[in-house]
Structure 1
Amino acid sequence: MATRSPWPRPLSLPCCCLLLLALGGPGFFQSHAVEVNVKDLSNNTCIYAEWMMSFLIKYETNSSEYKNATLKPSTNVTHDGSTCGNNTHAPLLAIQFGAGHSWSINFTKTNETYQGNIISFTYNTNDAVFKDAKTKGPITIVVKDPMHPVQLNTVYKCHHLDSIEVANVSLFFWNVTLQAFVQNGTVSKNDSTCEADKSTVAPTTVANLTTAPITTASSPLPTTTSKPVEKPLIGNYSLKDGDKICLLATMGLQLNVSQEKPVLININPKTTNVTGSCGNTSAILRLNDSNKRFIDFTFAVKNTSANTQRFYLKEVNITLISSINGSEPLNAGNNNLSIWDTFLGSSYMCQKEQTVLVTEDLQIHTFDLRIQPFKVQDNKYSKAEECFADSDLNFLIPIAVGVALGFLIILVFISYVIGRRKSRTGYQSV
């Protein structure tokens, strides 16, 4: 929920900060590495941090539709308010960037450890990236930092990309190097690596090396075959507006990702969290599975020339935080869709496999789909309009049965005629 930032800007606490910027990686996660060296009045370092970050923000437009905006710190970053702290204020690391956006984190410590405490992020929807935003002005979200305690006089390092979700904002962090409460003004040479980095040290390769049988020159080399990806489980998803269900969705989901090589990923509904929003003309279904894969389906309502209203899938956005085959994290979207189209007040159904094109390198395969994002009555689906693929199948089945029966009748008739001719011929004299 958007609130005012609880952290006043401590302008009365003088400090000296050095801010350095370096170019980051490609794509959605292209950003600038922010390096901040917070110093006290004696010019001694008290906080050192270098990290990369991006923000994905979903906002409502004046037409009651929902869109995504991406923010990334750029070269106009400032650091007003960063402070080593004192008896009344906690140490604070704060930056400002873009058209009125800011981010900050404060720190606490015990006798042995330190950790981040509260993260505050303010984004300004007057920025041009928030096209046609319904709400104008700064919006602040506050969330507790999930970082685990780190030993004092130790530098925390984590290259793994991680995220925090709060309200309609996703915060992405990676390539983090951090030490708070620096002792004697010198950044420590001792490192503390995050668990995510430790778990990504080529476990498959090590297992193959230790378990593969020893072979001789005359022994054939073992061959491996990739196991085909099974059809995904069918999930039932729903959103509520108060006590009533406002969106229903049933489908199996499979991602087709073509980064280094094509990979099929099944979304497990048993470990997938459902969020989103319902509206009169726009609705969003967001699925977030346990492997940090985010899929946003945006539905819209349109008026036809016959003065009837129909809904359709207008936009899909996907964020894959966990890397695939060692590749970079991925964010992609398609906001120019016009599929799953049917009358408002009905549901759309397609049992056959369908493919939703997000980009050339990313597609979604759906199985046993049924969706109703508007006007759900009595918490259940309305009458379904079938997709063409299903109706075509239903049309062909009776035709095939009719052709088979016709062919059988012809065979019986031919057999009958042949039998009659033989009975008329009778016995021949020798």
Structure 2
Amino acid sequence: MEPRWSPRGPLRLPRCSACLLLLLGTAGFFQSYAVEVDVKDASNATCLYAQWMMSFLIKYETNSSDYKNATLSLSSNVTHDGSICGNDTQAALLAVQFGEGHSWSVNFTKTNETYQADFITFTYNTNDTAVFPDAKRKGPITIVVKDTMHPVQLNNVFVCHNTDSIEAENVTQFFWNLTLQAFVQNGTIGEKESRCDADTPTSAPTVLPTDANITTASTTTLSPAPTTVPKPVENPDTGNYSLKSGNKTCLLATVGLQLNVSQDKPLLININPKTTSADGTCGNTAATLRLNDGNSRFIDFTFVVKNASANVRRFYLKEVNVTLLNHINGSVILSADNNNFSKWDASLGSSYMCRKEQTLEINEGLQIHTFNLRIQPFLVKENKFSTAEDCSPEVDNFIVPIAVGAALGGLVVLVLMAYFFGHKKHRNAGYEQF
């Protein structure tokens, strides 16, 4: 039977025992399939129902010790083995399996009045060469994330059309077009809806280019008046970010970030540190800082150590990845990366600092401007930055005034010496007249 759609969304389709319906999802980078799971109990009554779309953005290490981003989406060969109804003493479980050894599940518990998701378990298999063609680590990798879903009233359907994301351990999970009810009573899906915060009128989704954090940097000509001067864009606020390995801080960063996106119009996007979270990985020779600004924008900075066998080792910024998503449906607005940088070079055990504005050219359509930068991706001690090595443009700016000052000082000394010797000679000439 072909799926039918109405302007208000998908029409309910006839359900069978433990059926799974796959519908082709949105096109683009995150092409995915919509999944509908209807779990039945022993009496063939619906006890757990869910329909949603999801995709995964996974950062993995390659055989050359670099890091790449892989996109994993649901395919047409999805199963839902292991899904169970749950009861007052046992958690309900919604589980799906797809692709070459990938699986995802979420469990639900309930009280007398509400139900909620407790945690999500996601397993991806790096033996899937179509997704991870050069993965260094082979085999299944499992991550468990505590879900942040608010409790939902029993008999209510939880609905969230906007994109939600959960990030942990180099994996970002995206969900959208979600309809869910756990612990369905009497086999009947509830008529009342509980909406996620992103769907409420007071927190409308943010969509480029109408985002409040985006400033249009363009000039407007009003004929016959002359071209107006664009309003200056304020520099972004400086954020402080850190990563931990166990209980020990392994990476420190202080920076203000501004994205310069060249699409139909140049867009300057200031990254707000108040809503930005940091995640990533630390290693002996490679480290990645991932920033999620809370508005479906992700920036990855990858650092590596060069001259690893030399006595004096240095680190530098090697790769930057930027992904901008549509907050409503999870589709990619922009995805760009540059893995040929040799920026922010400093001695291992030191930090790199540059107070001046710098520009990272990701590609022709995207630049990143940095302000008040200080970064230390390796050998952090006592949660503090080590001695900083300034960027070369700033060092040059210090050398020029020092050189000019030294020259002026030398000139003053010469003038004083000339005056002193000239005055002394004049006095000696006066004595000879007597």
TM-score, normalised to structure 1, is: 0.71
The C-alpha deviation readout for 1:242-281, integer Å capped at 9, x for no partner, is: 6765434332222234567543333344554444333221
Taking a change above 3 Å as real, the CA distance of residues 124 and 351 of structure 1, as seen in their structure-2 partners, is: same
| Superposition deviation, residue 312 in structure 1 | 1.6
Q: Secondary structure of 1:59's match?
A: strand
Q: Secondary structure of 1:126's match?
A: coil
Structure 2 match to 1:415? none
Structure 2 match to 1:371? 375
Measured in 2, the distance between the counterparts of 1:240 and 1:106 equals 28
| Superposition deviation, residue 37 in structure 1 | 2.7
Measured in 1, the distance between the counterparts of 2:400 and 2:165 equals 49
Q: Secondary structure of 1:390's match?
A: helix
Residue 113 (1) aligns with residue 114 (2): yes
The C-alpha deviation readout for 1:292-351, integer Å capped at 9, x for no partner, is: 644321101223999964322112233456749x99665543333332234444443333
Measured in 1, the distance between the counterparts of 2:253 and 2:96 equals 41
The number of residue pairs the alignment matches comes to 373
Structure 2 match to 1:164? 166
Name the aligned partner's letter for residue 154 of structure 2.
L
Taking a change above 3 Å as real, the CA distance of residues 145 and 47 of structure 1, as seen in their structure-2 partners, is: same
**Equivalent residue runs for 1:227-266 within 5 Å:** 228-240=232-244, 245-258=249-262, 261-266=265-270
Residue 46 (1) aligns with residue 47 (2): yes
| Superposition deviation, residue 71 in structure 1 | 1.5
Taking a change above 3 Å as real, the CA distance of residues 262 and 180 of structure 1, as seen in their structure-2 partners, is: farther
Residue 338 (1) aligns with residue 342 (2): yes
Q: Secondary structure of 1:368's match?
A: strand
| Superposition deviation, residue 141 in structure 1 | 2.3
| Superposition deviation, residue 50 in structure 1 | 1.7
Q: Secondary structure of 1:389's match?
A: helix
Taking a change above 3 Å as real, the CA distance of residues 317 and 202 of structure 1, as seen in their structure-2 partners, is: closer
Structure 1 match to 2:4? none
Taking a change above 3 Å as real, the CA distance of residues 378 and 193 of structure 1, as seen in their structure-2 partners, is: closer
Taking a change above 3 Å as real, the CA distance of residues 392 and 70 of structure 1, as seen in their structure-2 partners, is: same
Structure 2 match to 1:413? none
Name the aligned partner's letter for residue 181 of structure 1.
F
Mapped contact 2:324–2:332 kept (Cα < 8 A)? no
Structure 1 match to 2:10? none
Mapped contact 1:19–1:79 kept (Cα < 8 A)? no
Measured in 2, the distance between the counterparts of 1:350 and 1:86 equals 58
Taking a change above 3 Å as real, the CA distance of residues 25 and 396 of structure 1, as seen in their structure-2 partners, is: farther
| Superposition deviation, residue 234 in structure 1 | 3.0
Q: Secondary structure of 1:78's match?
A: coil
Name the aligned partner's letter for residue 168 of structure 1.
N
Structure 2 match to 1:94? 95
The C-alpha deviation readout for 1:382-414, integer Å capped at 9, x for no partner, is: 5544434334434554677799999xxxxxxxx
Structure 1 match to 2:138? 136
Name the aligned partner's letter for residue 319 of structure 2.
E
Residue 20 (1) aligns with residue 2 (2): no
Measured in 1, the distance between the counterparts of 2:50 and 2:235 equals 45
Structure 1 match to 2:223? none
Q: Secondary structure of 2:397's match?
A: helix
Q: Which ranges of structure 2 fall in alignment gaps of 5 or more residues?
A: 1-15, 207-228, 411-434
Measured in 1, the distance between the counterparts of 2:205 and 2:295 equals 18
Q: Secondary structure of 2:340's match?
A: coil
Measured in 2, the distance between the counterparts of 1:191 and 1:361 equals 42
Structure 1 match to 2:147? 145
Measured in 2, the distance between the counterparts of 1:356 and 1:323 equals 25
Q: Secondary structure of 1:247's match?
A: strand
Measured in 2, the distance between the counterparts of 1:335 and 1:293 equals 19
Is the deviation greater in 37-46 or in 117-126? 37-46
**Equivalent residue runs for 1:188-267 within 5 Å:** 188-198=190-200, 199-201=202-204, 228-240=232-244, 245-258=249-262, 261-267=265-271
| Superposition deviation, residue 176 in structure 1 | 0.8
User: Of residues 369, 393, 397 in structure 2, which corresponds to 1:389?
Assistant: 393
Mapped contact 2:199–2:205 kept (Cα < 8 A)? no
Is the deviation greater in 94-103 or in 52-61? 52-61
**Equivalent residue runs for 1:255-294 within 5 Å:** 255-258=259-262, 261-269=265-273, 272-289=276-293, 291=295, 293-294=297-298
| Superposition deviation, residue 99 in structure 1 | 1.1
Q: Secondary structure of 1:24's match?
A: coil
Measured in 2, the distance between the counterparts of 1:81 and 1:104 equals 9
Residue 103 (1) aligns with residue 107 (2): no
| Superposition deviation, residue 73 in structure 1 | 0.9
Structure 1 match to 2:76? 75
Name the aligned partner's letter for residue 38 of structure 2.
N
Q: Which ranges of structure 1 fall in alignment gaps of 5 or more residues?
A: 1-13, 204-224, 407-430
The C-alpha deviation readout for 1:133-178, integer Å capped at 9, x for no partner, is: 4433222223333222233333322111111223332221111122
Measured in 2, the distance between the counterparts of 1:242 and 1:327 equals 34
| Superposition deviation, residue 68 in structure 1 | 3.2
| Superposition deviation, residue 283 in structure 1 | 1.3
